[in-house]
Amino acid sequence: MDFDSFVLAASTADLADESDAREHADCLEFRMDLADAPLDALASYDGDLPILATNRAAWEGGEASDDRNRLDALAAAVEHDAVEAVDVELETMRSGDGQRVVEHAREHGADVVVSSHDFEDTPGMTDLQETLREACGYGDVGKLAVTAQARADVLDLLVATRAATAEGDRVATMAMGEPGRHSRAVAPLYGSRIGYAPVDPAEATAPGQYDLATLRGLVETLAGEGNSVNTPGR
């Protein structure tokens, strides 16, 4: 998957949403932990959009409770041609359990997003930057989602995003919650490489998400015609 430019992922637990997502999305984030028989769904998938497979652990806001089984399923997912990237939690990489998923993904030509979520707060600047560096050290993209208690938290996240991008790292950043909602449209201007939105607003997988069409429109409007959304400082 080409994360050298901004990628808008349509988050879904139903691959049949692909036809509705195709107009605005660049890929599907397939939430395997929310899906029934996800590997069967991947086997029968015939859509045009590539897939970023996520099998989110319960301890990181998902619904997968058995770590071994969910990682086995995530490793198996990359064997499908449509799966061009997988998401592995930073904590999973720290423990060493995620390494086999990463190695299997590499063997099948899939990229790796290493993610960290803070559902309570926005850490200080040093922690933001260190988390992004560590995640990027494990994967092709370091994803950091925090929870904004105030708009000033978004400013800190944007500074960390721009700094990481200037260092040559590929990151995806967003602030959850209402005070941080606008970060999903603004962060790409500072280098964030992935945005997430549900096809149906009623099926949002994280607090503060815009629907797919709205986020695409906001990102393109803010970027302006002919401008890159991934150029720091522009």
Which residues belong to the active site? Answer: 117, 143
Residues 6+ apart with CB under 8 A from 233: 162
Q: Do residues 173 and 157 lie in contact, with contact meaning Cβ atoms separated by under 8 Å?
A: yes
Q: Do residues 30 and 51 lie in contact, with contact meaning Cβ atoms separated by under 8 Å?
A: yes
Q: How many other C-beta atoms are found inside a 10 Å radius of the C-beta of residue 130? A: 13
Q: Do residues 230 and 223 lie in contact, with contact meaning Cβ atoms separated by under 8 Å?
A: no
| DSSP 8-class letter at 57 | B
Bin 99: left if φ > 0, else alpha if -120 < ψ < 50, else beta. alpha
Interior angle at CA 196, CA 195 and CA 197, nearest 5 = 130
AA identity, residue 126:
T
Residues 6+ apart with CB under 8 A from 232: 162, 165, 166, 190, 191
Query: What is the secondary structure of 102-115 as a DSSP string?
Result: HHHHHHTT-EEEEE
User: Residues annotated in the binding site for 3-dehydroquinate, as ranges?
Assistant: 29-31, 56, 184, 205, 209
d(CA 210, CA 39): 28
User: Residues annotated in the binding site, as ranges?
Assistant: 29-31, 56, 184, 205, 209
Q: How many other C-beta atoms are found inside a 10 Å radius of the C-beta of residue 206? A: 18
